[in-house]
Amino acid sequence: MRRSAQTTRSGLTARGIGLIAGAAALLGAGFRYGYPDLALLGAAAGIAVLAAVAFAFWRPRLGVTRVADPDRVSRGEPANVTLTISNTSRMRAATLVATDRCGTTSVQVPLLRLRAGHDTVETYPVPTHRRGLVPIGPLHVTRRDPLGLITLARAYGETIMVRVYPKVHPLRATPAGLTRSLDGSVDKVPHGTIAFDTLREYVPGDELRRVHWRSSAKVGELMVREQLDTAEPTIVVLLDDRATAHRDDSFEDACEAAASIVVAAVREDLPVSLHLVGGTATGPHLDVLTEAALGDGDLAATLRRLRAQKIGDTLIFLTGPGGRDDLGAVSGLRTAYPIALAAVLGDRDSSPAAATDRLLVIEAVDGAEFAAAWDGMRGW
């Protein structure tokens, strides 16, 4: 199976156009000057064109199904598409040429000997070297007449989508924040932050110190306080998707860093919130990172919103070389987020930025270097 970036166009070929022009010239000369042989040749050429049109416009009935395995994959991991083409026509569909779209390229599929009532199965790899959505399909079947006068292409089957996630680098360390549920694996607050939730009737085994005596006196039955720990930390990841903040592949590296943090937080059962500077992040985090693209954004407005909402206790800002000058503004969130970290990715030339008591800073060339620097941090 051969890949090609070319697409087949429908219509008359150069040979077909030349034959039509020759037929018109022969018919005109034959009838005008009285040469029946020329008129006969012109008529034969015209009949050939009409026959080619009838042959090319016959539409073969094909059933097309395709399955991507897997349809969600990290960058660089293998994925394949299995394409099944069934000929449901009563006669043999001869002289067919098919190409299946796979991302930005076309994959040629041999169909010259597909008999009626039979099917053919083809498998080919999906390009996963870049993050993003890879559309697969539809299948374009080209019908040509035996003389090569007319080419007619038709589309068959639906389009499926393969999601190529950013590459995930394993992170051993995860920030636990300054607070953690008493049931959790980490607790940096000696007494937690227990808050009143509701009242319920006393059952044998409840601690008497949890009895709410005032409510019990009003109801006439022992009532017990239900309490919960509201101190569960949340990791807030802010991905800088402004075009002015990145150069070369630094945005891809930032997406890899964000995906690595999200996966590590989920593994440790820590809540994580993903935000974009230039857009709204809705849906599963890895899907958002797959579809994220560079654009415009107002970093100052985003920082004001995060400061007002205070949706977590650990803020992680991921940017590129162009976002280095904005680290001072990000450090201002330290009043709302007890732990604040910034990572500048893709910058190979500038001198490293020094960490301060308000902002921890990671300098990394790519996602792998970011993961190593992350595990070496001693700020949380």
- State pLDDT tens for residues 217-263: 888 888 887 654 445 568 999 999 999 999 999 999 999 999 999 99
Identity of residue 375: D
pLDDT for 39 beyond 60: yes
pTM, to two decimals? 0.74
Query: Residue 344 has what pLDDT?
Result: 95
Strands 360-364, 339-345: pairing is parallel
The helix-helix angle for 36-57 and 14-33 (nearest 10°) equals: 150
The CATH class, in words, for 62-165 is mainly beta
Query: Residue 233 has what pLDDT?
Result: 67
More confident residue, 214 or 272: 272
Handedness of CA 216, 221, 224, 225 (dihedral sign): negative
Q: How would residue 182 be classed by pLDDT, with cut points 50, 70 and 90?
A: very low
Question: CA 320, CA 246: separation in Å to the nearest integer?
Answer: 5
pLDDT for 18 beyond 80: yes
Q: How would residue 11 be classed by pLDDT, with cut points 50, 70 and 90?
A: confident
More confident residue, 13 or 181: 13
pLDDT for 51 beyond 80: yes
Question: CA 293, CA 255: separation in Å to the nearest integer?
Answer: 10
* Total length of the chain: 380
Question: CA 186, CA 175: separation in Å to the nearest integer?
Answer: 10
Count of alpha carbons within 13 angstroms of residue 345, beta-carbon side: 28
Tens of pLDDT, residues 321-362:
999 999 999 999 988 898 899 999 997 666 555 555 578 899
Q: How would residue 13 be classed by pLDDT, with cut points 50, 70 and 90?
A: confident
Of these ranges, 6-10, 114-118, 139-143, 359-363, the one predicted with the greatest mean pLDDT is 359-363
Query: Residue 98 has what pLDDT?
Result: 86
Q: Map out the domains of the chain as residue ranges.
A: 11-57, 62-165, 197-227, 235-376
Lowest mean pLDDT among 135-149, 172-186, 215-229, 294-308: 172-186
Tens of pLDDT, residues 66-81:
999 999 999 999 999 9
Mean pLDDT, all residues of the chain: 83
Question: CA 75, CA 93: separation in Å to the nearest integer?
Answer: 39
Region 235-376: CATH code: 3.40.50.410
Average pLDDT over residues 278-289: 89
Q: How would residue 90 be classed by pLDDT, with cut points 50, 70 and 90?
A: confident
Q: How would residue 111 be classed by pLDDT, with cut points 50, 70 and 90?
A: confident
DSSP E strand stretches across 202-308: 223-229, 235-239, 272-276
